[in-house]
Structure 1
Amino acid sequence: MKSLLLGGALALISAGFAAAQDSSTVYDFDGSFDDATFSVESAIVGKGLVIDYVSHAGEMLDRTAGDVGSDVKLFEAADIFVFCSAVLSRKVMEADPMNIAHCPYGVFVAEREGKVMVGYRNYPEGAMQEVQALLDEIVREAIGG
């Protein structure tokens, strides 16, 4: 009985840890923020995709900190590259039209505490895993992996 309870507790702890880790995939980038943004942009365009928008999230967070009563600096810099794939989007939405909730796709570059990171939001099991695989290819190419 003890081992069953211990096993159940460990499974719950592991599940909680996995859920926290499942929200995004992040890789370290060995270089500057500017080098990382250039690499991400090149990797996206290299896949034949068009970047619709670059969100300068870090600048927005800095600019609005005082307005929301905060003095916390979250990032030295942070950008999110927003894009879509017509072919892949059609495929995942034909599998489930509600996958529209996950479009467009984004890859972020952020610098925090002197470390540069590149990553993306993780998607649910099923058809969206093909999008996640594309994002992982883009990020791995950008970081030189």
Structure 2
Amino acid sequence: MPRHLRLPAAGLLAAAVALPAAAQDGVVTTPFDGSFDDAAFAVETAIVGQGLVIDHVSHVGEMLARTKQAVGSDVDLFTEADVFLFCSAVTSRAVMEADPMNIAHCPYGVFVAELPGGEVLIGHKTYPEGPMQQVQDLLSAIVAEAAAF
């Protein structure tokens, strides 16, 4: 049994309240209770609702499916997977005024992925401590809003 399922009930409740999303290897994910299309719509709505413009939607799932044989694989990683890329003039200016090399983190992305078993996840990568936490807070807010859609 996975370790996170062996916690006592009180521990599970505390973990759910403290960490609504799972963090692993620089990525934060939140399960979405619904279809991939609904999750993608919820993410798009949450981003636009923050007054932001989506610059590009990268169809990573389609690319991986299309190229798997060309790279010698037969593994289906996702049923579908998209990454929504955007920037925030306000947040970007703040973090780049703190350190112009924070440009390396722009644009910001929120992904939606459906795993082969049907689980739909929304997430984003994590950012370094310091000014970039403003970006992480923005992305976390977008993901939380989309997950509650």
Which residue is 2:142 aligned to?
138
- Give the counterpart of 1:129 among 127, 133, 147: 133
Deviation at residue 75 of structure 1 after TM alignment: 0.2
* Cα distance in 2, alignment partners of residues 76 and 122 from structure 1: 24
TM-score, normalised on structure 2?
0.83
Report the equivalent of 1:108.
111
| Number of positions where the alignment pairs a residue of Structure 1 with one of Structure 2 | 126
Q: Choose from 77, 89, 92 the match for 1:89.
A: 92
Superposition pairs for residues 1-145 of structure 1, below 5 Å?
A: 21-112=24-115, 113-144=117-148
The CA deviation string for residues 31-50 of structure 1, in whole angstroms up to 9 with x for no partner, is 00000000000000000000
Aligned-partner Cα distance in 2 for 1:28–1:135: 15
Tell me the alpha carbon deviations over residues 68-125 of structure 1, each in whole angstroms, 9 at most, x when there is no partner. 0000000000000000001110110010011011000000000002100000000000
Q: Which runs of 4+ in 1 moved over 2 A?
A: none
State the alpha-carbon separation in 2 of the partners of residues 124 and 22 from structure 1. 13
Structure 1 gap ranges (5+): 1-19
Match for 1:116: what amino acid?
Answer: V
**Aligned counterparts of 2:131 and 2:111: Cα–Cα separation in 1:** 22
Identity of aligned residues (%): 68
The one-letter code sitting in structure 2 at the alignment partner of 1:138 is I
Aligned counterparts of 1:42 and 1:70: Cα–Cα separation in 2? 35
SS in 2 for 1:61: helix
